[in-house]
Structure 1
Amino acid sequence: MVQAVQRAVQILRELATAGPRLGVTELADRLGVAKPTAHALLRTLEAEGMVTQDPESSKYLLGPDLLLLGNAYLDTQELRTRSLTWADLLASRAGEAVWVAVLTGDHVLVVHHAFRPAGAVQILEVGASIPWNTCALGKAMVAWAPDEARERLLAGRLGVLTGASVTDPEALRAQLDAALTTGYTLEDQESALGDAGIAAPVFGRGGEVAGAIGVVGPVERLLAEPVRQELAVAVRETARNLSRDLGAPRGAARPPRRGHDPSAPPTVPTPTPAA
């Protein structure tokens, strides 16, 4: 790897997670480099529009050109493009907000947000990054993931956003296994107090998990019966239709056999020759 590029990326990540404003000395300490090195990196990033310097405090913050890169990334997301109509239809049917997301590392990235058809002012959540274990969208993607990816995420750092966030790997594993039977996952105030979610996985052309789609809203509206079951049916149907739109093969949503890569072609037994 090119060390200068790696350090520049680390600066952007520090500003994104520990910011919004950090000074040269703070960033040098976080990167473990000399102050002149950090300053040179910041000046280069500033010239490219990736960071900007606050004229009052002389500290640095993320620059406007990052937004252009982010929007360009969203435009390349086939899942997002294909989901626009399906998300709007689900939002109308459910009467709730709909999120579409992909898995990036151990976080969920929201790539599309269809607003609830009616109600109070809503905040656009496109670009939101959420620990996978704290939301229904993340659980839906991990439940159908290949064994290696699933176990790696269960053994990794599990985020905590509220007192209801589940951080016990065995409890999460039980939820993921249950989802393979029901076809959907739930979130009960695990990423934000008072909010809930119901999600289902979306599959791509090769039968792999391409992302997830789900409804998000107040817990008292989403998880009360019989509404929960009605919403779960709507979410599953929409996920299945979106998967077909992406070219997923029939049966892609079948529960994977643990210890078996769900994207691998089935093995055909060799007939035993007659004696």
Structure 2
Amino acid sequence: MNNANNKPSAPIQSIQRAAAILRSFTEAEPELGVSELSRRLNLHKSTVSRMIATLQAEGLIDQNPESGKYRLGIGLVGLAGVALGRLDARTVAQPHLSDLVAASQETVNVTALDGNECVNIERMASPQPIQYIGWIGRRSPLHCTASGKLILAHMTPEERTAVLPQPLRQYTDKTITDGYQLTRQLNQICQQKYAIVHEEYEIGFSSMAGPLYNHQGNLLATVSISGPTYRLNDAVFQEQLPMLLATCQKISAELGFLPMPTHTMR
């Protein structure tokens, strides 16, 4: 989805090296010294030492006081928890998706944020001969999809700025590319807690998304109903909205979410 105005950046060497250090620790070798890391990664010992000191300061690596060797830090647990949370959303959602597909007769996807895109982490296809193809692993932009807009609506303005491309890419003649107009729409989505999109990303297809919350009340993923626009107009979406939101509430409850009367998006 890159264009001339949004070229991929070159890899940052220091980050690549830090990632290589973290990946060097395994279950078989949970502790390693600077010399061993230096040999394995073909890096100077002083470089490894500086990077380990930085990772240690961030809580991503710590040192065994008895052996003097290094090991993965407890700070990685929090990061892993976020990733595992998405897998939990997929596992918990699976039993509920078939009922939603049966009721809507359309394709249902579970989608999560990954970098500056949303990615499908679970899917159940429509039984209709003409259907929306949203395979697991498919990536989509945030500003012109129902799941993406719902994710953006949960973000602060600063978080949105960090993930949205500038300028906003126009995929169809219905794509919103004006930042002010998009912000107004996201504010509305924030209030109603669902998003509907007609042909903003792909001509002929529409989608509606509802939120999945974790035990802390944070957005973990979305559940969307997608299909051809000729079957999914606003009237049909309004008929299907209660069952979509009811499904999201059931899944969120199994993820530990306890809704409060005053719960709002950030």
Report TM bin, short chain.
Answer: 0.5 to 0.7
Q: Aligned to 2:254, which of 237, 245, 251?
A: 245
Instruction: Give the fraction of aligned pairs with identical amino acids, expressed as a percent.
Output: 24
Q: How does 1:113-128 map to 2 (within 5 A)?
A: 113-120=123-130, 123=133, 125-128=135-138
The 1:185/1:124 distance shift into structure 2, 3 A limit, reads closer
Per mean C-alpha deviation after superposition, the further-off stretch among 185-194 and 141-150 is: 141-150
Amino acid in the other structure paired with 1:202? L
Partner secondary structure for residue 230 of structure 2: helix
TM-score (ref. length: structure 1): 0.62
Q: Distance in 2 between matches of 1:122 and 1:216?
A: 6
1:233 equivalent in structure 2: 242
Q: How does 1:57-68 map to 2 (within 5 A)?
A: none
User: Are 2:170 and 1:160 aligned?
Assistant: yes
What is the deviation of 1:237? Answer: 1.4
The 1:161/1:155 distance shift into structure 2, 3 A limit, reads closer
Q: Distance in 2 between matches of 1:121 and 1:183?
A: 25
The 1:251/1:119 distance shift into structure 2, 3 A limit, reads farther
User: Are 2:144 and 1:173 aligned?
Assistant: no
Q: Distance in 1 between matches of 2:160 and 2:261?
A: 17
Q: Aligned to 2:154, which of 139, 144, 150?
A: 144
1:217 equivalent in structure 2: 227
Amino acid in the other structure paired with 1:232? L
The 1:159/1:190 distance shift into structure 2, 3 A limit, reads same
Structure 2 spans left out of the alignment, 5+ residues = 1-10, 20-82
Q: Distance in 1 between matches of 2:107 and 2:91?
A: 18
Q: Distance in 2 between matches of 1:190 and 1:169?
A: 15
1:86 equivalent in structure 2: 96
RMSD: 2.9
Q: Distance in 1 between matches of 2:86 and 2:213?
A: 17
2:57 equivalent in structure 1: none
Q: Distance in 2 between matches of 1:239 and 1:98?
A: 12
Partner secondary structure for residue 162 of structure 1: coil
What is the deviation of 1:130? Answer: 0.5
The 1:230/1:76 distance shift into structure 2, 3 A limit, reads closer
TM-score (ref. length: structure 2): 0.64
CA contact (8 A) 1:144 1:201 kept: no
Aligned residues, how many? 192
